[in-house]
Structure 1
Amino acid sequence: MDHYDIVIIGAGLAGSLAAIALAREGHRVALVGPRPAIADGRTTALMDQSIDYLKKLGLWDEVAPLTAPLVAIHIIDGTKRLLRAPPVNFRAPEVGLEAFGYNIPNAPFLEILEKHEASLPTLDRIPVAATTFDFGELEARVGLGDGRVISADLVVGADGRRSAVREAAEIETFTWSYPQTAVVLNFAHELPHQEVSTEFHTESGPFTQVPLPGNRSSLVWVQKPRDAEETLRLAPEVLSRTIEDRMQSILGKVVAEGIPQSFPLSGHTARRFGKGRVMLVGEAAHAFPPIGAQGLNLSLRDVMTVVELVGPPAGGRLPADTGDRFDGRRRIDIVSRTASVDLLNRSLLSSFLPVQALRAVGLQLLSSAGPLRGLLMREGIHPGSALQSIKESLREQISRKRA
């Protein structure tokens, strides 16, 4: 029976990045999971902190040609409600950055990760499903779909919303659903996007255009489920014109590409993010609507924490309480991000006038108050930086008074 330092279940973006990061540290790693049957048509906007991590892993030079920078983010209230918010513009130079991050197509990104996996001598790629788990006192054992059994000091569950690792570890989840479906596709357009992402807030959810290289963009269009079904049935030329109208023709003529995909929206958080020999990352631990480019960025912070906790190989077995320590380290970040995205999404759906008023006032403050907008941008890019900035400001004020 083959023994590994760490077995990672789930070979999507989060699992693949975790495997590469841990193998580069020198650990013997197994990445377990079948390859996707259907190419993922979505894109992922990775923020500045995540891009820095890709550079650290030696991946960025290959990924960069696929990407488009996000220099500015415009939020437009596209509702027809009585209380509407003014447009809000977030610009990277306001916080000293060339770009907030970069938009990356998922399918070719995963292909690059698979190539790097194959080049790492301490990483074994096992393209079958994990079928059984036994978390013992001395090690964890994983049964594979091809009949083999492997063992490990630690197991990382990166196997998505219906995580078998989470279930085997007897970790419960708090789950909720939304009356929404996300339609995703890419489209070409007549006018340049100027590296600007535009998010129209509508009564059914956000309609978000994100730049791709050239005169192309990706779209995440959150709708009511029945409306999403109708959108998927539209003829290509009708779909293209519908997108152009929704975009208020700010990018000129639109041509939809390929076949749109849809994903029902729901959310969940695990009651624990780690337990004993188990750590949960990505959607095995948390999931929420595609608002504010938080999904994979949050998952990458999971991965960073795994790598930091495990550390470089030091001889001997990895500690059996690593999962418990991981849970403590990740709790505040995950819970706060999940709550903020959920609150923003529900504020769009609410027909309750006071809720609409609070949302409009909040966006008005962001539009008019530069320091507040800058604080929010820094927090979105580097979690915890807003609190640190407030602490430093208070220290400066106290020092001045004492002087």
Structure 2
Amino acid sequence: MAKKTKTTDMFDVLIAGGGYVGLSLAVALKQGDPGVKCAVVDPKPMDQLHKDPRASAIAAAASRMLTQLGIWQQIEAESQPINEMIVTDSKLRDTVRPVFLTFGGETAEGEPFAHMMPNGIMMPALYEAARSLGVSFFAPGTAETFRTLSDHVELELADSAVLKGRLLVAADGVRSKLRDLAGIRTVNWDYGQSGIVTTVKHERPHGGRAEEHFLPAGPFAILPLPDNRSSLVWTEKTLDADRLVKSDDFTFELELERRFGHHLGTLEVAGPRRAYALGLKLARDFVKPRFALIGDAAHGIHPIAGQGLNLGFKDVAALAEVLIDARRLGQDLGAFDVLERYQRWRRFDTFQMGVVTDVLNRLFSNDSDVLRAVRDFGLGLVDRMPGLKSQFIKEAAGFAGPVPKLLSGEPI
């Protein structure tokens, strides 16, 4: 058996998972208090940071947080503002898709409610910010198991190294091993759907308009990117999605055109196509003594509202604020009463969003004429009520509910 070696350092916060959420938390903590000793375990290899072909919707509140973290200024030029959003509801065979709902794109003057950002731009910027602030990295060093002691937690890595910290934060994804080891149960089910993700190039400019087409198999989202490109999140039944991803280029592009339409001219698939199983997974608890969940480890929701990553950024802003406030008061960062503040802040909001996306998906992912008439009436009603539309935009922009300081554009 390999000999286990313990680090002599005691970290304030150990973060297991070096994706967007884990790295953002590390940067937020170090900026809030440079004296915080923070370590990230299992970040992505440097040579992989630029290779993620996907793109993410970054809500206005999240872009304010990234501005405070010094990231947004570096990556904004590579982003595409969403200036407008339209929602349609139709059958696949319909030649005309009437628009039932439109949203303007600004939450404040000059501030779009969201941007589309290539993932391969955002990850390296977050990594460099964390490294420059003195965050410790352990890679390769996948987190294997941990044990909680009275005044610290010990995290064992795959290479048998053991790290010590006052608090362990699991940011290791929707299939979080650490969440399961902590004994935290989840509410979860499979939708029987998969999301096909790819990038297309089109002949005509999109004008910064996002489109959400509700089709019987699920939503078909067209999200604008720079240079006459768009990111697609195309929901189908899982068997159909697998068949489409594995099909030849001609078949895939033919099915794509049936859903995309011809309003932007000739289409060309400009990125790899992949399918991701869709489901709902919500952790029943976000914290245990000396342990906290953030990001997809705490919640995995349907992409119908485009809020997955933004929920993770809300977790980061809330947890960072709670921990920095506790540190200034001389409190133990891993104490349950400290972590409970974070749980009260985030759990209800997360469950609420999970329920909303679940209901929307069930309401719109069907071919019932009766349900279509009901939901189209509802969409039209919302479109004619400016106050209600403003509330929807506020929610989409990330400003609903008690907003952490970072999401308001304020330092902790």
Normalising by structure 2, report the TM-score.
Answer: 0.87
Alignment CA distance shift 1:316-1:179 (3 Å): closer
Whole-angstrom CA distance in 1 between matches of 2:98 and 2:286: 37
Whole-angstrom CA distance in 2 between matches of 1:343 and 1:276: 33
Counterpart of 2:233 in structure 1 is 220
Counterpart of 2:15 in structure 1 is 8
C-alpha contact (below 8 Å) 1:134/1:142 kept by paired residues:
yes
1:332 and 2:339 equivalent? no
1:377 and 2:393 equivalent? yes
Whole-angstrom CA distance in 1 between matches of 2:84 and 2:376: 21
**Which sections of structure 1, spanning at least 5 residues, go unmatched?**
388-403
Whole-angstrom CA distance in 2 between matches of 1:32 and 1:122: 11
Q: CA RMSD in A?
A: 2.4
* Structure 1 position 128, deviation (Å): 1.4
Counterpart of 1:367 in structure 2 is 383
- Which amino acid in structure 2 is aligned with residue 294 of structure 1? Q
Counterpart of 1:35 in structure 2 is 44
Alignment CA distance shift 1:325-1:22 (3 Å): same
Trace 1:2-401 onto structure 2 (pairs within 5 A).
2-25=9-32, 26=34, 27-35=36-44, 39-79=51-91, 86-93=99-106, 96=109, 98-311=111-324, 313-314=327-328, 317-321=332-336, 322-350=338-366, 355-384=371-400
C-alpha contact (below 8 Å) 1:66/1:213 kept by paired residues:
yes
Counterpart of 2:410 in structure 1 is none
Deviations 1:215-274 (A, max 9, x none): 111111101112212211333344334323322211110110132011011111001111
Higher mean displacement: 227-236 or 150-159: 227-236
Whole-angstrom CA distance in 2 between matches of 1:280 and 1:381: 23
* Structure 1 position 386, deviation (Å): 11
Whole-angstrom CA distance in 2 between matches of 1:330 and 1:341: 17
* Structure 1 position 332, deviation (Å): 1.7
C-alpha contact (below 8 Å) 1:274/1:325 kept by paired residues:
no
Higher mean displacement: 186-195 or 145-154: 145-154
Whole-angstrom CA distance in 2 between matches of 1:316 and 1:373: 42
Deviations 1:159-181 (A, max 9, x none): 01121221122110011110111
Normalising by structure 1, report the TM-score.
Answer: 0.89
Alignment CA distance shift 1:85-1:196 (3 Å): closer
Alignment CA distance shift 1:252-1:295 (3 Å): same
Alignment CA distance shift 1:185-1:107 (3 Å): same
Alignment CA distance shift 1:250-1:281 (3 Å): same
Alignment CA distance shift 1:34-1:299 (3 Å): closer
Whole-angstrom CA distance in 2 between matches of 1:86 and 1:198: 10
* Structure 1 position 92, deviation (Å): 2.0
**Which sections of structure 2, spanning at least 5 residues, go unmatched?**
1-6, 404-412
Alignment CA distance shift 1:202-1:381 (3 Å): same
Deviations 1:18-74 (A, max 9, x none): 111112222111101152679433211011100000000000111112211111111
